[in-house]
């Protein structure tokens, strides 16, 4: 199933389907959250899954927010019982949802969004299921980020064609790789994404990294920028 998600051209509306195919859940939604890509539902397997996203966005509470804030899965096996930390959300869904599971979509320090999954009856995800869901969420995060920065990346490649500029980006990619323990591909994607979010070029961001003005090391989920 991961192979199916390796194609960056996969339509966004299909990104929720692999979770339902692989995991013991009724429905799934994929959403971007925050300033980087905006807050919206990207894909939903059904109307109920889409409704869960909309409720959380409107109320400002729920598992997707917690999963992204805590940077870990939030697993609620029985939503029939009230949740003190999600009072309005719990009340709104108690008659329709049995269990709810939220997985963050993260790439290094970048918070992309979350994947919400629900069942109509209370239930759990096993450790194997959690690993599968985490792997799928990671791959979906990469797809969404690749799609978002593709236009910027193309412009950057056209504007920065000298060997010197490529060397700077390559060196900066190595720094991010070391700081965050990522693959080279994901480290470059982090640089692209920061350039996308700040309206700058990859060259400028890379130079800031090499000069020590920018540090992607994790510090309470923040990026240090001393410019």
CATH number, domain containing residue 174? 1.10.10.10
Does 86 share its domain with 187? no
CATH number, domain containing residue 51? 3.30.450.40
Q: Considering 80, 115, 148, which residue would you say is the last residue of a domain?
A: 148
Q: Considering 148, 170, 205, which residue would you say is the last residue of a domain?
A: 148
Which structural domain range is residue 173 located in?
160-225
Q: How many CB atoms lie within 10 A of CB 144?
A: 24
Does 103 share its domain with 10? yes
- From residue 220, alpha-carbon distances to 2, 69, 109, 110, 176 in Å are 30, 10, 9, 12, 17
Whether 65 maps to a domain, the answer reads: yes
Does 84 share its domain with 17? yes
Phi, psi dihedral angles at 67 (to 5 degrees) = -60, -40
pLDDT tens profile 135-189: 999 999 988 888 877 745 555 444 444 455 567 888 898 888 888 888 888 888 8
Each residue of 61-98: b (16+ CB within 10 Å) or e?
Answer: bbbbbbbbeeeebbbbeebeeebeebeebbebbeeebb
Q: What is the pTM of this model?
A: 0.74
pLDDT tens profile 6-55: 555 567 778 999 999 999 999 999 999 987 788 889 999 999 999 999 99
Measured in whole angstroms, the distance separating CA 84 from the mean position of its chain's CA atoms is: 26
Whether 70 maps to a domain, the answer reads: yes
Does 168 share its domain with 140? no
* Closest of 136, 193, 141 to residue 33, by C-alpha: 141
Neighbouring residues of 125: CB distance < 8 A, sequence distance ≥ 6 = 23, 24, 75, 101, 133
Checking if the pLDDT of 209 tops 50, the result is yes
């Amino acid at each position: 199933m991961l192979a199916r998600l390796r194609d960056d051209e996969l339509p966004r509306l299909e990104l929720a389907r692999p979770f339902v195919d692989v995991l013991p859940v009724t429905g799934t939604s994929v959403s971007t959250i925050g300033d980087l890509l905006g807050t919206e539902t990207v894909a939903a397997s059904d109307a109920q899954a889409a409704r869960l996203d909309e409720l959380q966005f409107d109320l400002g509470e729920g598992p997707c927010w917690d999963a992204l804030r805590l940077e870990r899965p939030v697993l609620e096996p029985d939503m029939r019982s009230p949740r003190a930390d999600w009072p309005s959300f719990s009340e709104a869904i108690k008659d329709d949802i049995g269990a709810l599971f939220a997985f963050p979509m993260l790439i290094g320090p970048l918070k992309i969004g979350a994947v919400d999954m629900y069942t109509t009856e209370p239930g759990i995800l096993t450790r194997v299921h959690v690993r599968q869901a985490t792997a799928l969420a990671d791959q979906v995060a990469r797809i969404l980020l690749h799609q978002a920065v593709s236009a910027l990346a193309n412009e950057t490649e056209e504007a920065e064609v000298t060997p010197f500029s490529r060397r700077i980006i390559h060196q900066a990619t190595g720094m991010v790789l070391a700081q965050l323990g990522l693959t080279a591909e994901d480290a470059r994607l982090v640089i692209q994404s920061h350039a996308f979010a700040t309206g700058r070029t990859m060259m400028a961001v890379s130079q800031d990294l090499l000069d020590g003005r920018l540090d992607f090391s994790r510090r309470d989920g923040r990026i240090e920028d001393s410019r």
